[in-house]
Amino acid sequence: MNNLHRSETLQLLQSGQQYFPALIRAIDGAAAWVQMETYIFDLHLAGGQVAEALVRAALRGVRVEVLVDGIGSDPLPPAWQQKMKDAGVGWLVYSPLASGLGGLGLLVPDRWRRLHRKLCVVDQRTVFCGGINVLDDFYDPNHGELTSPRFDFAVAVTGPLAAEAAEAMALLWWRVQAGYSARQNHLAAAWEKFKAAGYGRRTDAAGLSVKTSPAEPGAAPLPGAKAVLVLRDNLRNRSSIEKVYRQAIGKAHHEILIANAYFVPGGKLRRALVKAARRGVRVTLLLQGRYEYFMQYHAARPVYGALLEAGVEIHEYEASFLHAKVAVIDGHWATVGSSNLDPLSLLLAHEANVVIEDKVFAGELRDSLCAAIAGHGRLLDPVAYSQRPWGQRILDHVAHALMRLAIFITGQRY
């Protein structure tokens, strides 16, 4: 990619056990500004510790802005609402469902466009990006306590990427604020906020005066490493992340290693993987092996057949819930982010991935994925797949058909 930036440091963070301590240290060291976006903000255990760090930052005068998704995150309990308000934490909800409608609000296709990216920028100096929600590794809102930690990744980057992410996050923050003012019929305030969001001039993010914070403890200096932030939205960047994947897959010579939680690739991406396997590239997928959601679990399986036939290795992760959205190609290209390879991520949601060009970083991520495959992956046998019970096949095809229907309703092609 032509717009790769040289980064000062890169740190791979595996699961919340590494991510949350690093995130909290960065927030506690913030001098001027903390911006956070997440799909899920859950206050159990580690999530509560992150919330306390945000409160501490705001109380010492740091500007703190938190944007959460209106479906992924439950409303803050009253005590926490008051605590955030008293500290001066800015807290906004992206696309909340209308009160009283509950899940019925999801019948409106426009409501399927969610905030799914997980970003945190501290002082425009360090950006955290990945698939990890503010959610404890050993807790799931739908399944309760987990015996093994959720498998996921994030990356902490210092350098030009942080300022770029800060500007994008500030723009979305002001747009959400403006939308809220418009819904409350505060039209004059909405107009001022739309102008501040970049309509007629750039967002003020780049103009904020901040102090430079030190590199994150444990972050390795990688003088040759280059990285770029790839954002997906429903305006100018509709297919940016999928294109990055397809370009890298198309250039692969030796190995493609992908770990993805909800894997339902569209035709172009699926054909790119098949072509790579047929030209001799070893293609290995680490996918969700445990049942989490009906649609995501069953809709993925009908696409396995063509991949297995082409020689793609599919391993299902069974130790806990796999939530990773990462890839390594040819030992030097890597991506860590929030985007699944499914239609919700690639067609509808706000997503963020960091693409990294560096052998050391890619090697570290590859080692982690290979260890997970060796220790907790179950190789999917093509013969066993073709002979799976008819009841399971019916569920698989029903889920896949429903997903295709949903795509059609949104007016998208996939």
Catalytic hit among 123, 137, 342, 396: 123
Q: Catalytic site residue 123?
A: yes
Active-site annotation holder among 116, 193, 298, 350: 116
Marked catalytic residue, from 193, 298, 315, 323: 323
CB 321 within 8 A of CB 189: no
**How far is the C-alpha of 270 from the C-alpha of 274, rounded, in Å?**
6
DSSP state of 115: B
Active site residue 44: no
Max distance between CA atoms of the chain, in angstroms, equals: 64
Of the candidates 215, 227, 206, 219, the one whose C-alpha atom is nearest the C-alpha of residue 33 is: 206
116 carries an active-site annotation: yes
Q: What does residue 194 show for φ and ψ, rounded to 5 degrees?
A: -65, -40
Among 325, 350, 376, 400, the active-site one is 325
E strand or H helix at 328: strand 325-329
Q: How far is CA 196 from CA 28, 95, 172, 202, 207, in A?
A: 28, 20, 11, 7, 12
The token duo for 127 is: 């950006």
Tell me, yes or no, if 243 is annotated catalytic: no
C-alpha distance across the termini of the chain, in Å: 24
- Check 44, 83, 330, 359 and give the catalytic one: 330
**Which residue among 118, 298, 315, 376 is the active-site one?**
118
118 is catalytic: yes
Query: Pairing mode, if any, of strands 325-329 and 333-337?
Result: antiparallel
Catalytic residue status for 211: no
- Positions annotated as catalytic residues are 116, 118, 123, 323, 325, 330
